[in-house]
Chain A
Amino acid sequence: MSRALHQLSLTEVAEAIRRKKVSSVEVTQACIEQAQRVQPKINCFIALEAEQALKAARKADQAVRKRGAKTGPLHGVPLAHKDMYYRAGKVSTCGSKILRDYRPKVTATVVERLEAAGAIWLGNLNMSEFAANPTGHNDHWGHCRNPWNPDHITGGSSSGSGAVVAARACYGSLGSDTGGSVRLPAAACGVVGLKSTHGLVSRYGLLLRSWSQDTVGPLTRTVRDCARITRVIAGADPRDPSCATFAVPDYERGLTGKLKGLKIGLPANHYYEGLTPDVAQAMKQSHAVFRSLGARVIELPVPDPARMFLLSNIVSISEASVIHRKWMRERPQDYSLYVRSRIEPGYHVPATTYLEALNLRAHYLAEFISGVYDKVDLLHTPVMTMPAPTIAETEPKGSGAVAEIVGRITRNTRPTNYLGLPALSVPAGLSGKGLPVAFQLMGRPFSEALLFRAADAYQRHTDWHTRIPHL
C-alpha cells in the first residue's frame, strides 16, 4: 500500500483487514498516532480511548485469524463519535459543563449496531454544547478548530466529527443533525455527511436536541464509506417507535456510477441567493460534472424555505426549552451564551403555536414533494453560502447576535429538518483561501440509495474528497 494506513478510506481499510493485509492493531495504532498529533492543533477529541481501542483491536485480530471466521462490514475499523451517543456506565458529556460526569444507564442502539458490525470505539468527540450551535464553538471543552485553517470554525454541532475525519484520525464518525449539524461540519471540513430521513435511524440512547427533528448520520471520507455505515445503523428499532419498519437497502450495491436520465433540480429561489464567488464557482463546476455524467440539470422554483426555517425553529426551541427546563431555572450560568439564548425563547411560545407548527409539517412536506420531487429526482444546493467563517467572526457579542449568526449559517440546512427529508453533503471544491466548499443533494423520503448513487458517481469523476489538510 503506497498511502499511509490512516489515509485509506473506511471501505479500503475494512477490506484490507478482512483479507489480512493489515491488522486492526496496526490501523488502530496509526489512528491513535494521528489523533495524538492533530489533537493539540484542532481539539477534536474530548476523550481518546487509546488503550481500550487497542485491546478491542487485538480481539478483532484474533477473530480474523480463526478459520472460517465471519466478520462484520466494519470489522476492526476504528471510529470515533460525537460525545452524545450513550454507552451504559461510561461518561457522555454532550459537550456540556452540566453533564461533565454524566454516566447514562443505557447504550444507544446505533452504538450496539456498530459494535455488532465489528467497529472499534476510538474515542468521544468534541461537539457544540448540547448539540445546540452550528459553529462548533465550545466554551467548556475548548473550540474545535478547522483542520484546513485552525482560525476558522468547523461548523457544528458535530464539530469533532467533521474535524477528525478530515484530519484522517479515524475512518468515520457518527454525528447528529437537527438543523444542519452533520452537513455543516461535513461541508466546512471537506468530508461527506448524511442527514438521514426522519425515521431511518434509531435515536434511542442519545442526547435529545429536538425530538421531532433529530436525526443520526455518519461523516466519512467517501460516499461509499457513508453508505456502509448507514446500512449498519439504519432500520427498525422497537425502542424508538418513530423508526420506520421497512427493509434497509444494500446501499453499496446501488453504487453503479450511472446517472443517465436522472433529473437534478436547482432551486430558483432561496438556496442560491447571496453566494460568495468561490461558492458560486464550485456549484457551477459541480453542475457541469453532473451534466457530463448524463444527468439533466433543471432550474425550478421551490416552496418557500424561509417559512420552513421559521417553523423548524419554533419546534426546536419549544422542545429544547422542555428538555432543559430544570437546568435553565437552576443553573443558567452553566450554559454558554449561545445555548442559553437559543433555548430561552421556547418558554414564551404558546403550546398552540408549537402544535400548529407540528401540524403544518405534513402540509409543507406534501407541497414540497408535489412541487419538487414530482418534477425532479434530486435537488442540488450549496450547504453554506460562504466558506467557513473564522471563530472570531462568529463569536456572539450578546444574546441578540446569536439568532443572526445561526440564521446565516443554517439558512440552507434547517428547512430540510422540518421536512424530514434526507440530504447528503459532498465536498465540491476549495475556496481561494483553501477552505472546503460543498453542495448537498436532497431527495424524497428514504431516497438515501439515490443520494449515494448520485454523489458516488460525482466522486468517481472528481478528487475533492481525496484532498487532505496539512496539519
Chain B
Amino acid sequence: MNEKVTAELIRGQGAQLRRLAIEESRARELAADVERMNNAVIDAADERLDFNDEPARFAALLADTREAGKK
C-alpha cells in the first residue's frame, strides 16, 4: 500500500495536530515534499533497520572508526 500524501492531509494535520493554518497552494507543495522524503526513509528503513537499532549507535561508530583507531 502506498497512497499519495494529499494537500488535505497536510492542512488537516497542520490545523488539528500543530495549530497551524496552511494555505491550499502551499499544502500541495508540502504534500509532494513530505511524500518524497517520507518514502525515501521508509524504503531505506525496510532495507536496513532492525529492532536493535537506536540513534546512539552513530556516535559510537564515529569513535570506533576514527582515523587514529584505524587498523
Show the binding face of A for B, using Cβ within 8 Å: 197-199, 212, 242, 244, 246, 249, 307, 310-311, 313-314, 317, 328-329, 344-345, 347-350, 353, 355-363, 365-366, 369, 373, 399-400, 403, 420, 443-447, 449-450
Contact = CB atoms under 8 A, between A and B. Distances in A.
A445 B67 contact: yes
B10 A348 contact: yes
Given A244-B63, A445-B65, A363 B37 contact: no
Contacts of B4: none
A73 B33 CA distance: 48
Contacts of A369: 65
A311 B44 contact: yes
Contact of A329 (B19, B34, B70): B19
A444 B67 contact: yes
A360 B53 CA distance: 8
A345 B49 contact: no
Interface string B4-45: 000000100110001110100010011001101110111011
Contacts of A249: 68
Interface of A, secondary structure class, is: helix
B45 A349 contact: no
30 contacts: A198-B59, A198-B62, A244-B63, A307-B44, A311-B40, A311-B41, A313-B37, A314-B40, A314-B41, A328-B20, A329-B18, A345-B33, A347-B13, A347-B20, A348-B10, A348-B14, A349-B38, A350-B38, A356-B44, A356-B49, A358-B55, A358-B58, A361-B55, A363-B53, A365-B61, A365-B65, A369-B65, A445-B62, A445-B63, A445-B66
Interface of B: 10, 13-14, 18-20, 22, 26, 29-30, 33-34, 36-38, 40-42, 44-45, 48-49, 53-55, 57-63, 65-68, 70
Given A199-B62, A349-B34, A363-B48, 20 more contacts: A198-B59, A310-B41, A311-B40, A314-B41, A344-B26, A344-B30, A347-B13, A347-B20, A348-B13, A353-B37, A353-B38, A353-B42, A356-B45, A361-B55, A362-B53, A362-B61, A369-B65, A446-B62, A447-B66, A449-B67
A242 B48 CA distance: 25
A447 B41 contact: no
A340 to B, nearest CB: 10
B67 to A, nearest CB: 4
A154 to B, nearest CB: 27
A360 B45 contact: yes
A326 to B, nearest CB: 11
A344 B26 CA distance: 10
